Structure 1
């Protein structure tokens, strides 16, 4: 009896520690949900359409996926090293409301390509590797039961082939395509008289090193109409109309942040008079980890924050709770940012990282330094290289992908990941359901500077201001969401009217604040967002 008691006594501290960890995990905010056990493909690129569907896209020369194309449809490529006749899908469209998957047909290689939605809601997709190097593709979305598919443009190609480039829609609705591996230029779609051909951007060449840290540059459209372009550890303000660098920002400490060093970046919500833009860049690999092929070099967790529109800008530094590479920063409807996915060691690239970072972190920009980060409930699925995160119209965040291998492998330490998950921030918890607003009426189309009304219903009486915020639908890939944007509209206090509330709003003033296109319009009551309604913002 004494031996048994002694044995239990020895193990009791460990048992108590384990139980306390379970309790702490259960108390952390946020919940996880498995949506689909097998999406058929591992999504390298993900985008949400105005029909509430999601386009998932992988590379074409990745070997067999786990989703066949419809009968009799195959892709023929004599140069494909694995499948000359490829009858497998490498892109699908997903309906989060029904969890249905429909295969799509894409012809040329989209590995490490770029994308952006056009003003009419069409997804523009550019570049890639091998036969996709100069290709431009379009996906015109449709209802979930439709038959829309990828179309490869035959009459126009990229002037420079682009691999690891970044797209950003501009105030006039054209798209600038920035950089790429060995391509230190910009070009535009559609080309115009004044913006035709490839234009040298010397800044990209100046910051390139033997680690290639100028790939997938972070590009943000500032409300003054210029571009904030960050590559390696430096940034410039770029006048795309005059092809001039009009400001050089101080270097960001902590080493390089772009591919393959794999940090992430957001521009915080634009609000007030829309004259101030704040950029945040978080995480990254230690310099040299990629060159040395080191998978266990700890990532750093430093974040830099800069007022890009300030006359004398400087970086304000702080640390995340975890070192992280390949994290995705997702702007939530509230203006907070979710940092999710990635690893705590190594670098970006095939089989180049270890120690998955399963804990999401909430970045609360309105809090003082030291209080901005909140650790959230961890997931269980490692999301490594080639994983994505996208805000859904219902306020959840869709998590997809993770294929840290050249081909689909399911027996590796970090296998190819076909599961789709959703992370629900704390604002979707059941105890907040009675203050969650429901949009009862909103225009389908609004013009710049136009005054319009939004009608909402709420179970409990409204206290304070109900926000109306426009969120873009970005193209998420390689730890950066191209074109991501949140604009907090000018609103008046809500007024009760016939059992609901009327909110008077003013649309964004111009295309520099919010480029033309479709936006998810959220109402936010006491930090709890509604389900979004799509609004077309036009000149």
Structure 2
């Protein structure tokens, strides 16, 4: 009934559960954190399989717990992965065990799990990031060796390590399952997750915290006082010996004859005889910085002094800067390096700093400051407060000379040299010339474009900004450069700060507000919606992985849903609609092992109100991909073959940077650019261009491919990202959405591609822009347009009027489980018929959070079906509910037009008649559109969302439509045919254009598959 602290633990069946006291004190008692844990070098537990129920005692010299576990028979050594709950001081109950295979990353027994956030870190001392080599062991080593001697180490977001001696008060214990990201350096270990830390404890107690020194000799603490750079409470800066401590500062002030001493900003010491400029006491918590020379003492804070008063008798009169000696320090006029000469004593901070490039040194001398400035190729050096060195090529902010006697403070490294004083600079020049520029004025004229000056604004409370996007330009910041940068990325507001900072933002904040969770949504030619979900890894043990929704029966849920079946896990696979007679849907790839090679086919049957009988057909032994693929993209080629590109070899496995064809033909071709950009290129965007060539977009790159050799024909410019991060991406996991913009007869205009949303690697800062390009024009470039809010994991659906609805997603994060936050409820409409910059309008907000694994699908009646959301983010549920969004063209009370059609199998350039019934307008204002059949998943519309407006003529109410001219303008396949009476679309009818040139309707010729014919 006991366990030693050695790696070989022995477990026995325990008595009924009781509450035992821990043998160590509980440092987490007040915070309700988990039990005191083993020192981090003692033991590791790995996962094990279990079932049944009994109790185990785990006893050692370090801790004493009661654990409730489940097992049928005797518990094998080394096998605990458990959730914990701290119930009372010294008493811990283990709530549950998780069953995992040995491939699951393990956790160290001494870890616990806590929430974290970037604004207030749980562990806020040392930190580092490794995108390729982070492990639990390397983080612990970093936090516990060398100059880092911390008792807590925490790993987060797979690649981040944080250290500290205290757990921040805002941290909270969370479920172990929240920490589910594998370490970048060891996939068998967990390294937290987004805003989640696996925390490890060394077994040591935290060191005592810093204190306000109450007294030093005859010096007594007066508390914390306010101060400012421009109006010092104590005017004389003291040059202390060594690093600043309360003791060294009070000694320096006492030696200089002053009765007041103040320590500020960890490393500054000031002296005086009276408090000036109305300095007053502030909250003791404002003085929160530890002394540079002694971390157990507080030395003020930003604009805050720990103030001390001398209660004894001073031996020297206050005001001497050389400790009361008779000859004070003086400027240096001989023995200077090169051509450097003394230029005089100047006033600083009257209107702001007159020099930049500050370099502080407690052993400062005139010579060392000149040497530093000279090494930076700067011609002016200025020394201030005895220890501060500033450099530049000219003085700014209206610098004026001061009396030479004002520069009377001794240098920290040479008491015979004068190094300025409080707000006084001893200036030296290498040229003999000192240019003093006037106080700068606001530039209100000569601004680029329509920019106009709006005034001087103060930033809000510390930690927040007026504008969110910052560029730091040390040497080349100008008003014009800043305004042009903001304008280039669609931001209407800009601000400049601190000389080198340029901020971009908006004039006002935009306050935007089933039965399974489907991953893939497809509308079939039976006018039902087919859903595929992650069967095998579903949250629902009775899921069959495939379902069909009859929209005509939505009032009767028992009849509306038809259960279908797949044989392997379609999680993160690809689907398209085939051009064969049956409009079969093909699904390829999947989650792991055999499923990644999966090829599955379904022929829609039945109709509204009538159940079909067909199901998904699959046999891995008869029909499979050549390479296993997770997160691939599929596309129908103009010749009728199926192109499958990219992905990884399995869930979070190595890349599969290749392409292959179905039906099988030729060898697998490796694409080096997919190898190079993994893992940010999954679900690449694939589209057929009117030239017959193919567009491929991946991560933040794009190119045009030859349709026969797949060689690169055009290397397009990199996609723009965010205003301050060009490494942002557009494909999974930095997930945006791409569509083709409309094509109009006679199809002579170059086609354009639109991509909206995305995110940045590492930080997961979602993008707030759309970009578009005409890839086959001469010298193609990307056009950028702002969206009113950030969006990652976006969905975009082509509407029959040639506009595009943008919806779903999040304001923050990347695609993946637990990696997104702050849902985006704002629906947008993109209208390419409007001028660039005026194409996006705001629609009514959606009502349900739709993030990872959500879709938006055009229905045959013109509405948009909104489904899914599988974020596994705390506070956001697995979303089973379905919604229908009514676009603007259906909410005006206008009756939808109607038409009848006889011929639905069209050849290229053929002419086909329809009989129309219009209720508002006439055929002179009518439009006709063809929306290609598609499947969508993870924001990837696997037809490119193609929409075509063909030529047509009308005689009375009989209209003749001319089909698109070839397979390049319109690849062979099924389309929804709509007519539009003014803005209002009809219900659609399905037509096939271009036949089945690849004879897919006769494939595959195996017993387990049904072929509909061509």
Pick aligned residue for 2:685 from 218, 224, 248? 218
Q: CA deviation at 1:451?
A: 1.3
- In structure 1, the residue matched to 2:550 is 95
Matched ranges for 1:80-229 at <5 A:
87-99=542-554, 100-120=560-580, 121-130=583-592, 131-144=594-607, 145-153=611-619, 154-181=621-648, 182-192=655-665, 196-208=666-678, 212-229=679-696
Contact conserved, 1:176 with 1:186, CA < 8 A, in 2? yes
Q: CA deviation at 1:264?
A: 0.9
Contact conserved, 1:118 with 1:174, CA < 8 A, in 2? no
- In structure 2, the residue matched to 1:419 is 881
Greater CA radius of gyration, 1 or 2? 2
* 1:520 aligned onto 2:976: yes
Matched ranges for 1:51-450 at <5 A:
51-65=526-540, 87-99=542-554, 100-120=560-580, 121-130=583-592, 131-144=594-607, 145-153=611-619, 154-181=621-648, 182-192=655-665, 196-208=666-678, 212-254=679-721, 255-275=728-748, 276-289=750-763, 297-405=764-872, 412-433=874-895, 436-450=896-910
Structure 1 range deviating more: 460-469 or 212-221 = 460-469
Counterpart secondary structure, 1:133: helix
- CA distance change for structure 1 residues 206 and 273 in 2, over 3 Å: closer, same or farther? farther
Counterpart secondary structure, 2:893: helix
Give the whole-Å Cα distance in 1 for the aligned partners of 2:689 and 2:782: 17
Counterpart secondary structure, 2:790: coil
- CA distance change for structure 1 residues 216 and 463 in 2, over 3 Å: closer, same or farther? same
Counterpart secondary structure, 2:889: helix
- In structure 2, the residue matched to 1:491 is 952
Give the whole-Å Cα distance in 1 for the aligned partners of 2:902 and 2:888: 26
Contact conserved, 1:346 with 1:353, CA < 8 A, in 2? yes
**TM-score normalised by structure 2 residue count:** 0.44
Q: CA deviation at 1:104?
A: 0.9
Give the whole-Å Cα distance in 2 for the aligned partners of 1:465 and 1:312: 36
Give the whole-Å Cα distance in 2 for the aligned partners of 1:471 and 1:463: 20
Counterpart secondary structure, 2:743: coil
- In structure 2, the residue matched to 1:452 is 912
Contact conserved, 2:897 with 2:985, CA < 8 A, in 1? yes
Once the two structures are superposed, residues 186-237 of structure 1 have per-residue CA deviations (whole angstroms, 9 ceiling, x without a partner) of: 1111123xxx2311122322333xxx11111011111111110001111010
Contact conserved, 2:771 with 2:784, CA < 8 A, in 1? yes
Contact conserved, 1:41 with 1:89, CA < 8 A, in 2? no
Contact conserved, 1:336 with 1:362, CA < 8 A, in 2? yes
Matched ranges for 1:477-488 at <5 A:
477-483=937-943, 484-488=945-949
Q: CA deviation at 1:303?
A: 1.2
Counterpart secondary structure, 2:852: coil
Give the whole-Å Cα distance in 2 for the aligned partners of 1:431 and 1:58: 36
Counterpart secondary structure, 1:432: coil
Give the whole-Å Cα distance in 2 for the aligned partners of 1:463 and 1:45: 37
Q: CA deviation at 1:312?
A: 1.6
Contact conserved, 2:591 with 2:630, CA < 8 A, in 1? yes
What's the C-alpha RMSD, in Å, of the aligned pairs? 1.6
* 1:534 aligned onto 2:1008: no
Contact conserved, 1:278 with 1:307, CA < 8 A, in 2? yes
For structure 2, the 5+ residue unaligned runs are 1-513, 555-559, 649-654, 722-727, 996-1014
Give the whole-Å Cα distance in 2 for the aligned partners of 1:471 and 1:426: 18
Give the whole-Å Cα distance in 1 for the aligned partners of 2:973 and 2:923: 32
Contact conserved, 1:116 with 1:175, CA < 8 A, in 2? no
Contact conserved, 2:737 with 2:939, CA < 8 A, in 1? yes
Counterpart secondary structure, 2:587: strand
Contact conserved, 1:41 with 1:91, CA < 8 A, in 2? no
**Which structure ranks higher in relative contact order (CA pairs < 8 Å, sequence separation ≥ 6)?**
1
- CA distance change for structure 1 residues 329 and 63 in 2, over 3 Å: closer, same or farther? closer
Contact conserved, 1:159 with 1:197, CA < 8 A, in 2? no
Q: CA deviation at 1:40?
A: 1.3
Give the whole-Å Cα distance in 2 for the aligned partners of 1:287 and 1:88: 34
Once the two structures are superposed, residues 52-87 of structure 1 have per-residue CA deviations (whole angstroms, 9 ceiling, x without a partner) of: 01111111122452xxxxxxxxxxxxxxxxxxxx64
Contact conserved, 1:353 with 1:384, CA < 8 A, in 2? yes
Give the whole-Å Cα distance in 1 for the aligned partners of 2:921 and 2:685: 42
- In structure 2, the residue matched to 1:18 is none
Once the two structures are superposed, residues 302-340 of structure 1 have per-residue CA deviations (whole angstroms, 9 ceiling, x without a partner) of: 111111221221111111111101111111111111101
Once the two structures are superposed, residues 461-501 of structure 1 have per-residue CA deviations (whole angstroms, 9 ceiling, x without a partner) of: 41633222111121110011111311111122x332xxxx1
